């Protein structure tokens, strides 16, 4: 396994739980013996309703610089979440956007691997609105394989205990959404670090 | 685990049982966790009216025998300075965690900086010692907080931990020890007849034994100059000796301070295995190579500097990372300077530590400042840009310098 860095940004609105989503991803990586660093940008009045961001760096080797410079994957559950992070994207970056909330980003580099999926609608329809973060994480893990699904399930069970059920269901729903994703599979966002 | 969480765990492991503070971003998680954890341990958590009162409460709690601490950020650290001086003068052990953010004043409340370097050294007035530890990882947030309490107790002086917004809010893998695996030091205590107790009569290393208020050892504590009994005294001999001793006790115990980390990378590390004498051999074999760069960085800036080394393994780079910022590890830095061609100081401020480094280097090598002060983390690319000119621009001990690859 190469020691290269794998960097991702999970962004949306405060209250969607994406900071915790990033924490779960990082903990799942650590579960596999990898190194992971998570940081967040969600403070004060931004905590509810405005932009919220979780940055995750995963590597088999030492992680020195803790922040994201070139995202291999971005989750954007709000228009602002996409707009604010365009500078972190590179050709081949996997860009997962909510198909209802985020309009087709016209100015996005054609080299991006964009997947527009009904993440929020899916969560609501399953009665899992409060687990939309974990559903989005399921999409990310399903499309990239950055960590094994079992590692995420282990972290969910540990973190939520006997309340883990909805989150485990949300994670599976996200994985299924990823599997049914219509875009051609891409090698770009994939590959474990 | 988050950096701020690790600080709290370190404090509890070191035996801290008293917290007085006023919450402030980006340190508030420490207060929040302390408020939950301390009562369960029989400790005390007080949310004070402000940071001035917080620091005063620490001094009182410490005199009563508790291991006391607070957490704040730049604006609160400013307000604490008066009573930090009181803690120095009364020789009361206590720990102040400063999770640095961008200033001046309330500045950028949610953004990182390392601009309290000189506030930690000279924020309170008068001649005084300063002890400041600087973690660079979540794991070190734990261990250096433990060390801060141990040093405060052992030296009878306030000790600072300078973290920053990046480190405080960052989560990474950190394996914490069991409580019984942590070495915990206690303050020197008096023994013998309480009548003969002198609260400011120094022990062999300059540190006087400290009794707790409320016990049989009754003593007077005053912020004014005092003699060994704690009684006010204005004579020059007492004042001169006391001011000198306050600094000398820290110097006497300098060997207890956490030592700097030195990491070498690049061709010479392969030749030498990274040790100093081998480094010279490696450098000698490559007399026409690019300059050998000594990076000096602490805290989260050191992580950016380390990333430069990981990204440019073909360069001879050394990272000198102080874990103790004050007193500055000058002998350790001086020992490294001679087999480097240029010293680059990386910090998130307008250039505070670079002046101390210049003093230590003493003109023997060029010292370059890679400083940044806009509320954003300094990136490996920005550090690299600041290296390019000195490395390729003719600063080299050897002629025929190669340009950068």
In sequence order, what are the residues at sequence separation of 6 or more whose Cβ sits closer than 8 angstroms to the Cβ of residue B85? B124, B125, B126, B128, B223
**Does B306 reach chain A within 8 Å, measured CB to CB?**
yes
Chain B residues with CB under 8 Å of A26 CB are 171-172
Q: How far apart are alpha carbons A163 and A153 in whole angstroms?
A: 13
CB-based contact A44 B304, cutoff 8 Å: no
CB-based contact B110 A62, cutoff 8 Å: no
Determine contact, residues B164/B100, Cβ cutoff 8 Å.
Answer: yes
User: Which pLDDT score, from 0 to 100, does residue B270 have?
Assistant: 56
CB-based contact B170 A35, cutoff 8 Å: no
Which of B126, B158, B186 lies at the terminal end of a domain, its last residue?
Answer: B186
pLDDT score of A85 more than 50: yes
Place of tokens 């500055």: B328
Distance of residue A20 Cα from the nearest chain B Cα, in angstroms: 11
Total residue count of chain B as it appears in this document? 405
* B262-281 pLDDT, tens digit each: 999 877 665 444 443 333 33
Determine contact, residues B380/A57, Cβ cutoff 8 Å.
Answer: no
Which residues is B69 bridged to in the sheet? B19, B95
**Residue B20 sits in a domain of what CATH number?**
3.40.50.970
Query: What are the DSSP E strand ranges found in B57-113?
Result: 68-72, 94-102, 108-112
Chain B residues with CB under 8 Å of A69 CB are 379-381
Q: How far apart are alpha carbons B255 and B259 in whole angstroms?
A: 8
The minimal CB distance from A36 to the residues B26, B172, B379 is found for B172
User: Which pLDDT score, from 0 to 100, does residue B393 have?
Assistant: 55
Mutation target to probe the B interface, by most B beta carbons within 10 A, among A2, A10, A65 is: A65
Distance of residue A169 Cα from the nearest chain B Cα, in angstroms: 26
Q: Are residues B175 and B276 part of one domain? A: no
**Residue B321 sits in a domain of what CATH number?**
3.40.50.920
Chain A residues with CB under 8 Å of B29 CB are none
The minimal CB distance from A30 to the residues B166, B173, B377 is found for B173
Mean pLDDT, residues B186-207 taken together: 96
* B126-168 pLDDT, tens digit each: 999 999 999 999 999 999 999 999 999 999 999 999 999 999 9
Share of chain B above pLDDT 90, in %: 85
CB-based contact B25 A43, cutoff 8 Å: yes
Mean pLDDT, residues B302-328 taken together: 95
Distance of residue B76 Cα from the nearest chain A Cα, in angstroms: 18
User: Which pLDDT score, from 0 to 100, does residue A121 have?
Assistant: 97
User: Is the residue at B225 inside a domain?
Assistant: no
Chain A residues with CB under 8 Å of B108 CB are none
User: Is the residue at B147 inside a domain?
Assistant: yes
Q: Are residues B128 and B33 part of one domain? A: yes
Q: Are residues B271 and B171 part of one domain? A: no
CB-based contact A37 B307, cutoff 8 Å: no
Distance of residue A126 Cα from the nearest chain B Cα, in angstroms: 31
Mean pLDDT of chain A: 89
User: Is the residue at B204 inside a domain?
Assistant: no
Q: How far apart are alpha carbons B331 and A45 in whole angstroms?
A: 47
CB-based contact B379 A39, cutoff 8 Å: no
User: Which pLDDT score, from 0 to 100, does residue A172 have?
Assistant: 98
Distance of residue A180 Cα from the nearest chain B Cα, in angstroms: 33
Distance of residue B281 Cα from the nearest chain A Cα, in angstroms: 28
DSSP A35: E
H or E stretch including A114? Answer: strand A113-117
Mean pLDDT, residues A79-83 taken together: 91
pLDDT score of B90 more than 50: yes
Q: Are residues B148 and B11 part of one domain? A: yes
Chain A residues with CB under 8 Å of B170 CB are 37-39, 66
Chain B residues with CB under 8 Å of A38 CB are 170-172
Q: Are residues B270 and B138 part of one domain? A: no
Mean pLDDT, residues B94-109 taken together: 95
Mean pLDDT, residues B335-357 taken together: 96
**Does B191 reach chain A within 8 Å, measured CB to CB?**
no
Q: How far apart are alpha carbons A35 and A26 in whole angstroms?
A: 8
User: Which pLDDT score, from 0 to 100, does residue B195 have?
Assistant: 94
Which of B156, B186, B216 lies at the terminal end of a domain, its last residue?
Answer: B186
What chain B residue is nearest to A64 in terms of C-alpha separation?
Answer: B303
Q: A78-92, B66-80, B188-202 — which is least confidently predicted?
A: A78-92
CB-based contact B303 A65, cutoff 8 Å: yes
* A167-192 pLDDT, tens digit each: 999 999 999 999 998 655 444 455 45
Determine contact, residues B167/B300, Cβ cutoff 8 Å.
Answer: yes
Place of tokens 């995202």: A71
Q: Are residues B169 and B29 part of one domain? A: yes
Q: Which tokens hold the place of B251?
A: 């110097």
In sequence order, what are the residues at sequence separation of 6 or more whose Cβ sits closer than 8 angstroms to the Cβ of residue B280? B339
Q: How far apart are alpha carbons B113 and B97 in whole angstroms?
A: 15
Q: Are residues B267 and B164 part of one domain? A: no
pLDDT score of A103 more than 70: yes
In sequence order, what are the residues at sequence separation of 6 or more whose Cβ sits closer than 8 angstroms to the Cβ of residue B161? B7, B95, B96, B97, B98, B132, B133, B134, B135, B141, B144, B145, B148
User: Is the residue at B216 inside a domain?
Assistant: no
Q: Are residues B179 and B326 part of one domain? A: no
User: Is the residue at B118 inside a domain?
Assistant: yes
What chain B residue is nearest to A29 in terms of C-alpha separation?
Answer: B173
DSSP B402: P
In sequence order, what are the residues at sequence separation of 6 or more whose Cβ sits closer than 8 angstroms to the Cβ of residue B286? B267, B268
Q: How far apart are alpha carbons A136 and A115 in whole angstroms?
A: 12
* B12-64 pLDDT, tens digit each: 999 999 999 999 999 999 999 999 999 999 999 999 999 999 999 999 999 99
In sequence order, what are the residues at sequence separation of 6 or more whose Cβ sits closer than 8 angstroms to the Cβ of residue B112? B26, B100, B101, B102, B164, B165, B166, B300, B348, B375, B376, B377
Q: How far apart are alpha carbons A42 and A56 in whole angstroms?
A: 14
pLDDT score of B312 more than 80: yes
Quick one: how far is CA B315 from the chain centroid? 29
**Does B109 reach chain A within 8 Å, measured CB to CB?**
yes
User: Which pLDDT score, from 0 to 100, does residue A3 have?
Assistant: 52
User: Is the residue at B39 inside a domain?
Assistant: yes
In chain A, which among 59-88 make CB contacts under 8 A with chain B? 62-67, 69
Please report the number of interchain residue pairs, chain A to chain B, with beta-carbon separation below 8 angstroms: 51
Place of tokens 């990474």: B172
CB-based contact A66 B170, cutoff 8 Å: yes
Q: Which tokens hold the place of B56?
A: 């005063």
User: Is the residue at B136 inside a domain?
Assistant: yes
Instruction: For residue A128, give the 3-state DSSP assignment.
Output: coil
User: Which pLDDT score, from 0 to 100, does residue A100 have?
Assistant: 95
Q: Are residues B275 and B137 part of one domain? A: no
Neighbours of A163 (CB within 10 A): 9
Chain A residues with CB under 8 Å of B306 CB are 62, 64-65
Determine contact, residues A52/A41, Cβ cutoff 8 Å.
Answer: yes
Q: A115-119, B99-103, B176-180, B299-303 — which is least confidently predicted?
A: B176-180
Phi-psi sector, B257: left (phi>0), alpha (psi -120 to 50), beta:
beta
Gyration radius from chain B CA atoms: 22
Q: How far apart are alpha carbons A15 and A78 in whole angstroms?
A: 12
Which of B165, B186, B207 lies at the terminal end of a domain, its last residue?
Answer: B186
Mean pLDDT, residues B377-392 taken together: 85
Chain A residues with CB under 8 Å of B109 CB are 43-44
CB-based contact B172 A35, cutoff 8 Å: yes
User: Which pLDDT score, from 0 to 100, does residue B284 have?
Assistant: 39
User: Which pLDDT score, from 0 to 100, does residue B180 have?
Assistant: 87
**Does A106 reach chain B within 8 Å, measured CB to CB?**
no
Q: Pairing mode, if any, of strands B342-347 and B367-371? A: parallel
pLDDT score of B289 more than 90: no
Place of tokens 């004498």: B277
User: Could you tell me the domains of chain A?
Assistant: 6-179 (3.40.920.10)
Mean pLDDT of chain B: 91
3-class secondary structure per residue, B308-350: HHHHCCCCCEEEEECCEEECCCHHHHHHHHCCCCEEEEEECCC
Total of domains in chain B? 2
User: Is the residue at B205 inside a domain?
Assistant: no
Chain B residues with CB under 8 Å of A65 CB are 303-304, 306-307, 379-380
* A28-58 pLDDT, tens digit each: 999 999 999 999 876 555 556 688 999 999 9
Q: Are residues B181 and B267 part of one domain? A: no
Confidence of residue A93 (pLDDT cuts 50, 70, 90): very high
CB-based contact A66 B166, cutoff 8 Å: yes
Q: How far apart are alpha carbons B43 and B31 in whole angstroms?
A: 13
User: Which pLDDT score, from 0 to 100, does residue A126 have?
Assistant: 97
Confidence of residue B287 (pLDDT cuts 50, 70, 90): very low
**Enclosing domain of residue B274:** 261-392
Distance of residue A36 Cα from the nearest chain B Cα, in angstroms: 6
Mean pLDDT, residues A70-96 taken together: 93
Q: Are residues B11 and B97 part of one domain? A: yes
pLDDT score of B396 more than 50: no
**Does A38 reach chain B within 8 Å, measured CB to CB?**
yes
CB-based contact A39 B166, cutoff 8 Å: yes
């Amino acid at each position: 396994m190469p020691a290269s860095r794998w960097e991702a940004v999970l962004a949306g609105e405060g209250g969607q739980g994406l900071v915790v989503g990033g924490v779960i991803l990082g903990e799942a990586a650590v579960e596999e013996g990898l190194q992971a660093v998570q940081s967040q940008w969600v403070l004060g009045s931004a905590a509810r309703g405005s932009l919220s961001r979780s940055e995750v760096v995963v590597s088999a080797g030492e992680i020195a610089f803790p922040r994201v410079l070139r995202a291999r994957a971005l989750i954007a559950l709000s228009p602002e979440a996409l707009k604010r992070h365009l500078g972190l994207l590179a050709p081949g970056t996997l860009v997962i956007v909510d198909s209802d909330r985020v309009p087709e980003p016209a100015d996005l580099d054609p080299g991006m691997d964009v997947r527009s999926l009904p993440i929020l609608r899916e969560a609501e329809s399953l009665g899992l609105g409060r687990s939309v973060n974990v559903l989005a994480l399921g999409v990310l893990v399903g499309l990239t394989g950055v960590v094994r699904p079992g590692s995420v399930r282990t972290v969910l069970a540990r973190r939520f205990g006997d309340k883990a059920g909805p989150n485990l269901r949300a994670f599976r729903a996200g994985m299924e959404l990823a599997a049914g994703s219509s875009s051609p599979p891409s090698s770009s966002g994939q590959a474990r670090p | 685990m988050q950096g701020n969480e690790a600080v709290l765990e370190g404090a509890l492991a070191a035996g801290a049982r008293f917290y007085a503070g006023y919450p402030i971003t980006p340190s508030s998680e420490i207060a929040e966790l302390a408020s939950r954890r301390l009562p369960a341990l029989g400790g005390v958590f007080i949310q004070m009216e402000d940071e001035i009162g917080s620091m005063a409460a620490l001094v009182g709690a410490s005199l009563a025998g508790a291991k006391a601490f607070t957490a704040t950020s730049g604006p609160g650290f400013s307000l604490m300075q008066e009573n930090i001086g009181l803690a120095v003068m009364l020789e009361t052990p206590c720990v102040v965690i400063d999770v640095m953010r961008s200033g001046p004043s309330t500045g950028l409340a949610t953004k990182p900086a390392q601009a309290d370097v000189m506030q930690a050294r000279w924020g309170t007035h008068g001649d005084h010692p300063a002890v400041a530890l600087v973690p660079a990882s979540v794991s070190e947030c734990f261990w250096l907080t433990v060390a801060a309490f141990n040093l405060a107790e052992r030296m009878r002086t306030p000790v600072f931990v300078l973290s920053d917004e990046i480190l405080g809010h960052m989560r990474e893998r950190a394996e914490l020890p069991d409580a019984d695996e942590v070495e915990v030091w206690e303050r020197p205590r008096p023994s013998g007849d309480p009548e003969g107790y002198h609260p400011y009569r120094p022990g062999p290393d300059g540190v006087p034994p400290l009794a707790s208020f409320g016990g049989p050892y009754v003593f007077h504590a005053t912020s004014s100059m005092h003699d060994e009994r704690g009684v006010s005294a204005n004579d020059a001999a007492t004042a001169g000796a006391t001011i000198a001793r306050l600094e000398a006790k820290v110097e006497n115990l300098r060997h207890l301070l956490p030592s700097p980390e030195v990491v070498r990378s690049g061709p010479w590390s392969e030749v030498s295995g990274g040790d100093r004498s081998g480094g010279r051999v490696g450098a000698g074999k490559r007399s026409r190579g690019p300059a050998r760069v000594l990076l000096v960085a602490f805290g989260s800036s050191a992580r950016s500097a380390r990333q430069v080394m990981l990204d440019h393994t073909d360069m001879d780079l050394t990272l000198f990372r102080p874990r103790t910022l004050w007193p500055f590890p000058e002998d350790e830095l001086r020992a490294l300077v001679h087999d480097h061609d240029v010293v680059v100081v990386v910090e998130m401020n307008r250039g505070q530590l670079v002046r101390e480094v210049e003093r230590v280097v003493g003109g023997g090598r060029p010292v370059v400042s890679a400083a940044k002060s806009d509320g954003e983390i300094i990136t490996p690319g920005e550090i690299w840009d600041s290296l390019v000119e000195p490395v390729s621009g003719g600063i080299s001990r050897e002629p025929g310098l190669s340009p950068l690859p």
